[in-house]
Amino acid sequence: MSIRVRFAPSPTGMPHVGVIRTAIFDWLLARHHNGKFVLRIEDTDRSRYVEGAVDNIIGALKWLGMDIDEGPSAGGDYGPYYQSERLPLYYRYVKYLIDEGRAYWCNCTPERLDKIRKEQQAKKMPVGYDNKCWNLGLNGEPGDGVHVLRFAIPPGMTTTFHDELRGDITVDNDELDDFVLLKRDGFPTYHFASCIDDHHMAISHVFRGEEWLSSAPKHKLLYDALGIEPPKFVHVPVILGPDRKKLSKRHGAANVLEYKQMGYLPEAIFNFLALIGWNPGTEDEILSKEQLAELFTVERINTSAGIFDIDKLNWMNGEYIRAMPLESLVERLRPAMSEWGWIDDGFEPWGKEYVAGVCALMQERLKTLVEMREKAFFFFEEFESYDPKGAKKAFKGDDIIDRLSAAREKLEKTEWTVVGIEAAIRETAEKFGVGAGKIIHPIRLAVSGISAGPGLFEMLHILGRKKVIARIDKAIESL
RNA sequence: GGCCCCAUCGUCUAGUGGUCAGGACAUCGGCUUUUCAAGCCGACGGCACGGGUUCGACUCCCGUUGGGGCUACCA
């Protein structure tokens, strides 16, 4: 049997981290088995449809490097891949289900449903539809505006479904109510559409959030009524925020595309997300998509919810930044640097060599791409003030101006190489009979405005003699 | 309220009826060092609780507690 998995989001907003993690599992299983990764858009709720949501979803998958084998933009033999375009397929099953006594039309109004629900709640009774229209033999048509189609749950028995991770789960049918298959507007509910589509798209494994666990028995019953074999179900654990609540904007960002904005690399996000709720069984955790796919098995997925630990993501992102060839880092940083006005569409006015030199110095100091802005601004911008804390420590002593001036003189004449610069500064320190730090720290502050950064000699070398001298002069003036 | 799922360091997790319960992130300390990082070394820290079953339970069973989910003409 060939492995076919589908990622089936509804276009109701931004691609949520938890949703994307499910897609990652889908993709990993497909690639592991050389199967197909299918994208299906579940747009059956017209009221919640968000313009551009599909593009964002596809954009997120693309950013993360998950190639789609079949889907709206990729095509395929099992289309259409929008559920809204598959209505005739769903309608084909309506008559059959009604004839078999497994579904019936219902004309109960939302108001009535609301009323009985409130009464049930008030009496602390289990809530659910009261089957009023069952056996009324109502005649309806899909989308006639007054009827919904309901599934008739066989009463007085139990239903067992199989979850690949948790095993068999049995529930009492009386806990299930006659759920809606077709809504008043003629669109199917998730339950109806996904069962039919998964079958018709020959899906072998369904990964979905564990919030679907409760409705899994309904789906099992539906499959039985339809006379079709269900796919394998894997209910994956949810991803929570640090407060153990569902991950949301309050926790920073719940939308993967925002992580792109925050300077995270897609490789790191993919790697990190793959490791929440699943483990590769290896000691090493830094793994490429290909390695993850190689290692991926359903059995190693966990059953308990995981917390999104931004600290670990930061570490992992830093690992990826450091492991990257300089050339790649420059390219990744380029759009941002351009946005900050540091460079134009090329590398002007600084030139590629200068920009690459800065990137090389910053590479092991970045956890995210955007940190570049606050840590390397002085390579590209003039600044007006010195870090107060740093100034208090570095710009002190009666002879501070003398030390700065002396270093300036040396730097003006020395050979402009890293070694030459280092020699100039160490000689200055010697001349004053002080530790090198007494010269290094003031110069660092004078030249960068901050007290933390790359090694001073390399830094000065990149900045260039002219700018270094000018900034030292400016600092002396301010003292 | 009813039903369902889950439970190993702060976090992600490995693990077995008998282990010194292992790793990673974070934290703390040290080394290195001109700062910040990086790197290396080390420390801290865990089987939620109570009953069983068993020669023996972190592991199996039951309960409790805690967390999560469902209970829509949303997915």
Residue A322 has pLDDT above 80, yes or no: yes
pLDDT at A243: 87
pLDDT, tens digit (0-9, with 9 covering 90-100), for A165-216: 999 999 999 999 999 999 999 999 999 999 999 999 999 999 999 999 999 9
| A366-369: Cβ within 8 A, 24+ apart | A366/A318, A366/A321, A367/A314, A367/A315, A367/A317, A367/A318, A367/A321, A368/A262, A368/A263, A368/A264, A368/A314, A368/A317, A369/A263, A369/A264, A369/A265, A369/A321, A369/A332, A369/A333, A369/A336
Q: How confident is the model at residue A4 (pLDDT cuts 50, 70, 90)?
A: very high
pLDDT, tens digit (0-9, with 9 covering 90-100), for A78-136: 989 999 999 999 999 999 999 999 999 999 999 999 999 998 888 888 888 999 999 99
> What span, in angstroms and rounded, lies between the C-alpha atoms of A376 and A340?
12
pLDDT, tens digit (0-9, with 9 covering 90-100), for A48-73: 999 999 999 999 999 999 999 999 98
Q: How confident is the model at residue A247 (pLDDT cuts 50, 70, 90)?
A: confident
CA distances from A197 to A146, A231, A252, A275 (A): 26, 11, 35, 29
pLDDT at A418: 95
Residue A175: CB partners within 8 Å, gap ≥ 6?
A126
- Bases of strand B lying below 7 A from some protein CB: 1-8, 10-15, 23-26, 34-39, 67-75
- Residue A274 CA to nucleotide B67 C1', Å? 23
Number of helices (H), then strands (E), belonging to chain A: the values are 20, 11
Residue A338 has pLDDT above 80, yes or no: yes
A175 touches strand B (CB under 7 A): yes
- Residue A129 CA to nucleotide B71 C1', Å? 11
pLDDT at A149: 97
Go through the domains of chain A in sequence order and give each one's CATH number.
1-71+237-323 (3.40.50.620), 86-236 (3.40.50.620), 324-377 (1.10.8), 388-478 (1.10.10.350)
> What span, in angstroms and rounded, lies between the C-alpha atoms of A100 and A2?
32
pLDDT at A164: 96
pLDDT, tens digit (0-9, with 9 covering 90-100), for A257-296: 999 999 999 999 999 999 999 999 998 999 999 999 999 9
A95 touches strand B (CB under 7 A): no
- Residue A303 CA to nucleotide B58 C1', Å? 18
Catalytic residues of A: 249
Percent of chain A with pLDDT over 70: 100
Q: How confident is the model at residue A251 (pLDDT cuts 50, 70, 90)?
A: confident
A128 touches strand B (CB under 7 A): yes
Q: Is the dihedral of CA A185, A187, A192, A196 positive or negative?
A: positive
> What span, in angstroms and rounded, lies between the C-alpha atoms of A111 and A115?
6
pLDDT at A226: 96
- Residue A275 CA to nucleotide B21 C1', Å? 22
Q: Is the dihedral of CA A385, A388, A390, A392 positive or negative?
A: positive
Percent of chain A with pLDDT over 90: 89
pLDDT, tens digit (0-9, with 9 covering 90-100), for A218-230: 999 999 999 999 9
CA distances from A117 to A111, A114, A123, A305 (A): 10, 5, 10, 31
A322 touches strand B (CB under 7 A): yes
Q: Which residue is nearest to nucleotide B73 (CA to C1')?
A: A183
A417 touches strand B (CB under 7 A): no
A8 touches strand B (CB under 7 A): yes
Average pLDDT over chain A reads 95
Q: Which residue is nearest to nucleotide B69 (CA to C1')?
A: A211
pLDDT, tens digit (0-9, with 9 covering 90-100), for A389-436: 999 999 988 889 999 999 999 999 999 999 999 999 999 999 998 999
Burial bucket for residue A389 (CB in 10 Å: 0-12, 13-18, 19+): exposed
A126 touches strand B (CB under 7 A): yes
A241 touches strand B (CB under 7 A): no
Instruction: List, in sequence order, every residue forming a beta bridge with A349; answer none if it has no partner.
Output: none
Residues A356-377 have a mean pLDDT of 97
Residue A1 has pLDDT above 80, yes or no: no
- Residue A7 CA to nucleotide B4 C1', Å? 24
